[in-house]
Structure 1
Amino acid sequence: MAATSHVRSISLPTGTHPTSLAVEVQLERLRSSESASTADSTTQLNILRELHECVDDLLQLPATQKSLSKSMEESLINGSLRSLEICGATREIFAQLKDCVKSLESSLRRKSSDLTSEIETFVSSTKRLRKLACKTLKSSKKSKSPAADLEPKDSIFGLLREVESASFGVFESLLSSVSGAESSGWSVVSKYLKSKQDKESEMGKLQSELMALKSSLRAVNSVEEVQKVLKGLKGMEWSLQESEEELECVYRKLVKTRVSFLNILNH
């Protein structure tokens, strides 16, 4: 996943509340997961959820509330809305992708007589979702708050803005994986659909593989080949399900964070 937040020291001024340091620790974990080759979306979303749990604790502190000016509060509230919007959009895209995979699984299991049509529907649906992910990604990049580089690195406001930036980074990485920029998960399916292209990992390759399968339909005449395809689809479904569930948890945390911002503004 591409890093989207600037590098900052994990140290804060002497006397900083432990809750602030807890936020820093989670940010550091998230940055480490970005560079780890074994990190997956579920792990990153889990860290993001824990990060926002720490943020909510931070927002309950009187010292935090006193440190934020009215303009800072409004900026954070606007940012929380943008975070909610992109999280919700990403969650919906993953939910729809999972439904597409489940539908194709069902068709293979019942040995549909019109499998060609089923494959075309799957390809068409996933292509639409790729375009939607790409559109959402572009919209996200345009709507983000300006970089917080000018904010004091050790201020509460600067820390909260960095959390906002890190959150966007995770969602944008997930959207990129669907739009085709990076999508190793889809190779789980594509490698079973046509052995010649085992190493291909982009989701877009799945479209061509399915079209090849549709053209020949040789694989579906073999029980063994069908089971291989089904195994790949099931792995895809589980992966999407996990991401969707984690996105739901993160979404709820973002709602709670936004409520905390609004409460601070109204007091």
Structure 2
Amino acid sequence: MAISSNVRSKSFPSMQHPQAAHVDEQLTRLRSSEAASSSSICQRLSNLQDLHESLEKLLRLPITQQALSQDQIEKLLDGSLKILDLCNVAKDVLSQMKEGLKEIQSILRRKRGDLSAEVKKYLASRKFLKKSFQKVIKNLKVCQNNDESLVVFGEAEAVTIALFESMFSFMSGSKACGKWSLVSKLMNTNKATCEAEENEFTMVDSEFQSEKSLKAEDVQNLESCIQDLEDGIESLSKSLIKYRVSILNI
């Protein structure tokens, strides 16, 4: 979905404005990116942080503030709250997983303790979390906004939610995409690339199901992956809070 000046209201900054053009460039880059690995997901989280910092600057422009009605401001607030909720869900899940892995790592290092019991506990937790992911993903909806003054903000919300859907699928080991409706269209998702691939999460799941192949190095890699995702989500959360404060200040 291209953003151009001919779909904007006269009062809203056109894409000729440097800040608006910068936001459009960031959206284009995010739409074309793929989230097939933890590193690419972390990079997209970083790009989303930059995007919301740019949106926050766009909101501070007098011409932007003059173009937004109270109803539009409420829509922006609702959207930002939805994404912050996703950040909190992701942080809670990653924190739970990290705690379980720390206990397993401790047993592996000390070579004493009930490893089998901890592994079963971790796998049971993973099973519950996967169901939670499926529920969250099912409830993710992006409503196409035909309001000319909110097009750029609506696209930002769509690509952000698409990232969380990719991340939750990556963490659960399920297919990276499904019936995304608007999100699929915005992200130009290729269904051929949507098959589940082995990653840090699925690799450790597989090893835990067959303890004979368990590798401490893979558990460590997963812990590092989780830490990277936590850091990226935390940074994005801070930018979203700043963005939300700017909306409230209008």
Q: Name the TM tier (shorter chain).
A: 0.7 to 0.9
Q: 1:258 to 1:30 in 2, by over 3 A?
A: same
Q: Following the alignment from structure 1 to structure 2, what is the Cα–Cα distance between the partners of residues 231 and 52?
A: 36
Give the deviation of 1:250 after TM superposition.
0.4
How much has 1:48 moved relative to structure 2?
A: 0.4
Q: Is the 8 A contact 1:93 1:129 kept in 2?
A: yes
How many pairs does the alignment contain? 223
Q: CA deviation at 1:36?
A: 7.7
Deviations 1:242-267 (A, max 9, x none): 11011001011111111111111xxx
Q: Distance in 1 between matches of 2:67 and 2:197?
A: 51
Deviations 1:151-186 (A, max 9, x none): 43xx4x111111111111111211111232248xxx
Partner of 2:76: 76
**Whole-angstrom CA distance in 1 between matches of 2:21 and 2:164:** 24
Q: CA RMSD in A?
A: 2.6
Q: Is the 8 A contact 1:90 1:133 kept in 2?
A: no
Report if aligned partners of 1:100, 1:126 keep a CA contact under 8 Å in 2: no
Name the residue aligned to 1:256. 242
CA distance in 2, matches of 1:261, 1:38: 31
Corresponding position of 1:170: 163
Q: CA separation in 2, counterparts of 1:129 and 1:38?
A: 18
Compute the displacement of 1:34 (Å): 2.5
Q: Conserved in 1, the CA contact under 8 Å of 2:84 and 2:237? A: yes
Check if 1:212 corresponds to 2:183.
no
Tell which structure's C-alpha radius of gyration is larger.
1
TM-score by length of 1: 0.75
Give me the whole-angstrom Cα distance separating, in 1, the residues matched to 2:38 and 2:32. 11
Matching residue of 2:47:
47
Q: 1:174 to 1:209 in 2, by over 3 A?
A: same
For the residues of structure 1 that align with 2:15 and 2:103, how far apart are their CA atoms? 56
Paired position in structure 2 for 1:90:
90
C-alpha separation in 2, matches of 1:113 and 1:85: 37
- Choose which of 2, 8, 11 in structure 1 pairs with 2:2: 8
Instruction: Give unpaired runs (5+ residues) of structure 1.
Output: 1-6, 184-198, 220-225
Q: 2:232 aligns with which of 246, 251, 266?
A: 246
- SS of 1:40's partner is helix
Give CA deviations for 1:162-217 in whole Å, capped at 9, x if unaligned.
1111111111211111232248xxxxxxxxxxxxxxx972756754542322xxx5
- How far does residue 16 in structure 1 lie from its aligned partner after superposition? 2.8
Unpaired runs of 5+ residues, structure 2, are 7-13, 177-195
> For 2:175 and 2:36, how far apart are their aligned partners in 1?
15
Residue 103 of structure 1 pairs with residue 100 of structure 2: no
* Percent identity of paired positions between Structure 1 and Structure 2: 34
| Structure 1 segments (4+ residues) deviating >4 Å | 35-39, 202-206
